[in-house]
Structures are given as structure tokens and as C-alpha cells.
Amino acid sequence: MGRTQLSLRSVAGFINQTEFCRSHQNQEHSVTEEIENNSDALIELTADVVSAYVSNNPVPVGDLPGLIDQVHAALKGTIGGPVVKPEELKPAVPIRKSVTPDYIISLEDGKKFKSLKRHLATHYGLTPEEYRAKWGLPADYPMVAPSYAATRSALAKTM
């Protein structure tokens, strides 16, 4: 007999599907508080996660108990853990003042550059997209000083 792949229909008989997440979305307490107060909620949440996973990924029947155990252990391990708030980022210079006609100032360290891309990659391991995301900058935030970009553009047009 080959490995049998499970579908959502076959899992439904094995896992009791619930409306836990939807029924608790609008309540003021968090899922973690709900789980701490009710061990049945942990089982229900485990069933929701496993059901969602199995509905989109083929899982052999023999692997289902292990998957359930892993999800249950992972959810149980998150209970009571400290909530770590990301530390607020403080740019080296105000964002509005970071772009001048002749240079771009790095929000990481306050240094001035004509082109910021290499500095970010070598010193901070950041791509321009990661840098913009980290500081909440728009997608069109420049990585090159405006005057330098104009000079390069003019040079390219003469070639």
C-alpha cells in the first residue's frame, strides 16, 4: 500500500473543526489569554492550525499524529512567554533632513553619502528595500543624492 495523502475531508473526521478563531476575533482578550484560561481552546486552536495546513499541503496519514503533536507543542510553548516589544528606532537624523541636494544621510549612523546602497550593504547587511522597510520609508525614497543622480543621468544621455 502506498503513502496515502490526506485531504481536508479526510482530516475532518480525525480533527474536530471549530470556529474558535472567528468566534473570538472581536473579543477584547488575546488568544494567549484565552488559551491560558481554557485548555480546550488550545486543542481547538491546534485543530484549526492543523486543518488549515492540511487543506493546503498533502500530508501522509502516518505523519498526521506527529504534525498534531508538533503544532500543539509549539502553541503550548508560546503560552506565558514574555511579549517582546521591538525597540523603537531612533534615526541618527530626522527623516525629513536625510535627503539634501548633494548627499543622502544614513539614518543608521548619520554619515553623508552620494550613494547609500554600498554603505548599507557593507556595514549593516541591508538592502535598500530592507532599509526602507526598517525605517518606514516610502518605496520611492532615494538611495542616491539628487544632484549625483542628475549628473549620472546627464552623462548617460551624452553617451
What pLDDT score does 13 carry? Answer: 43
Q: Using CA atoms, how far apart are residues 147 and 112, in angstroms rounded to an integer?
A: 14
Q: What is the CATH number of domain 95-158?
A: 1.10.10.1550
User: How high is the mean pLDDT of the chain?
Assistant: 80
What residue spans define the domains of the chain? 8-78, 95-158
Beta-carbon-side half-sphere exposure of residue 36 (alpha carbons within 13 Å): 9
pLDDT tens for residues 114-130? Answer: 999 999 999 999 999 99
pLDDT tens for residues 46-56? Answer: 899 999 999 98
Whole-angstrom CA distances from 100 to 5, 28, 97, 112 are 60, 46, 7, 10
**Residues of the chain whose pLDDT is less than 70?**
1-38, 80-84, 86
What pLDDT score does 36 carry? Answer: 54
Q: Using CA atoms, how far apart are residues 104 and 96, in angstroms rounded to an integer?
A: 11
- pTM for this prediction: 0.48
What pLDDT score does 33 carry? Answer: 59
Q: Are strands 104-105 and 112-113 parallel, antiparallel or unpaired?
A: antiparallel
